[in-house]
Amino acid sequence: MDVNPVAVLAARAGLKIVTEGLPDGFKGRALRVLDSAFESVKDLWSYDGGVVTHIFVSRGGAPTWLSVNQGRPVFLCPGCYAVYESRVCPECGEGCEASMKPVVRLPSGLPEEAPGWRVFAVEVRKGGERRYLSVVRDQRLRGWLSATAAVARERAAAAAKVIGEVLFAWERDRLRRAGITHAHKLFTARQLASFQAFAEAARGAGEGDSMLLAAAASEAAKSCCLLAKWYPKLGEVTPAGGVKAHWVPEYTAVVNPLAHDGLRPLARGVIASALRAQLRAARFVERRGGVSRVSYRVAVGDACVAEYPGRIDLAVLDPPYGRVRSYASLSAPHFYVARLYEAAAGLALTGGVSLREVEAREAVPRTGALYRVVKRVVERVAERLVEGGRVVLMYNTADLEEWVRVLYPFKAAGLYPRAVYWVLGEPASGVTVSAFRGIHLVVFAKGFSSGVHVVAGEPLLQAERLTRVDVEWERAATVKLTQALNRVFS
């Protein structure tokens, strides 16, 4: 249950895989849809016999460190604008310091990929080779970019009309300063035409396929939009919202949503990536004993007033946390691709609500409504929780008072902690704004318990071996949680 249709679409797709598995033959049908979609917009993404995977654009300057190719840094010469992978520029003989800041002053007259965004380089995949081309030095490439951008604008006109509403209140100023005043401007015309082509190719797909394909397209929107930040050191984008909520980058890469070879993605976070994730999830379920034959209901709505089951064995509460002013704003690219998909493929995904309405109804820490909502939901769950049942709270903060405010409703409802687990949460790129990589699962049951089983140290050490984790920061959050549990439940 969520007020945001994007969260509901993701939950519906996940639960379908867990309870039913993927439809027979889904992989082949999904690939045919992807192939058909790419074929219909092939002229927008094909250059010199290869597939254009990234188009580098800027609202100002460009970095000297452009990307990484098979472990080798790729540079943009600040003097002659050549792109090279050696120690010095082969054209002018100058070297440059590797910088990911927009320090290169670009010349005027570069082609516009979107209003205010000029193209300075392109990545092309041909076979197993990845090539980087300088737009400044290649007149033929500049001509191709200008011509295909004009074609894309014509093809994306209908899509732009479908999602062309004025953007909502929170985070609006940052977007408007970058010229993003309406929803369709979150994407380039080339990307909109591609998402539309995918939805049209999926039209007529069976009910089971359609929802999964829609979820894949919506998931890809976080990388395939102008809010995704290009990170040269990784040679890929950091998805929108991963750096800051709608902090529009000065330069980024326009990702091709349809870049694929079979179901192997040719860029990070494209539609093929999301489809592969669904296939991996299905295989994981099979390895764990197969699907769970249970009934479920997923709906857009307010958990404070929605109808609950008469008996609850297990409830999982995943309220918003952190300092994000609007979670609806983070879901904007997903939301509008879902709306575009439903219009082109004839599905009902967003329930006719606007993102402004979603934002007005969401409960986040900044409004204070979060704590009222947690209190009401916990009360309603506790009334229906069977003996021996469990309630799991998914939350994290390093603020003691915030933990206390979130935990107190559980005590008031007669629910007491039994266990705490620290688990790895969001994927860590090393460039996200949040210092947290983990989340705490706090397990409650009816009736007083004299002790709480805490599992935090070992999984944190395991996580540190896998990815970048600020161990001291994560431990500090666990300490604050422990202190809050002692204060509330002692």
Q: What is the pLDDT of residue 246?
A: 63
Is residue 442 a contact partner of residue 393, using CB atoms and an 8 Å limit?
yes
Q: Tell me: the pLDDT tens digits for 382-398?
A: 999 999 999 999 999 99
Burial of 19 (0-12, 13-18, 19+ CB in 10 A): middle
Q: Tell me: the pLDDT tens digits for 122-160?
A: 999 998 899 999 999 999 999 999 999 999 999 999 999
Q: Over the chain, what is the mean pLDDT? A: 91
What is the band of 430 on the pLDDT scale with cuts at 50, 70, 90?
A: very low
Q: Where are the beta strands (DSSP E) in 77-164?
A: 83-84, 112-114, 117-126, 129-134
- What type of residue sits at position 85? E
d(C-alpha 465, C-alpha 437), whole Å:
13
Range 284-489 classified under CATH 3.40.50: yes
The overall pTM is greater than 0.85:
yes
Burial of 288 (0-12, 13-18, 19+ CB in 10 A): exposed
Is residue 51 a contact partner of residue 256, using CB atoms and an 8 Å limit?
yes
Is residue 113 a contact partner of residue 188, using CB atoms and an 8 Å limit?
yes
What is the domain partition of the chain in residue ranges? 26-277, 284-489
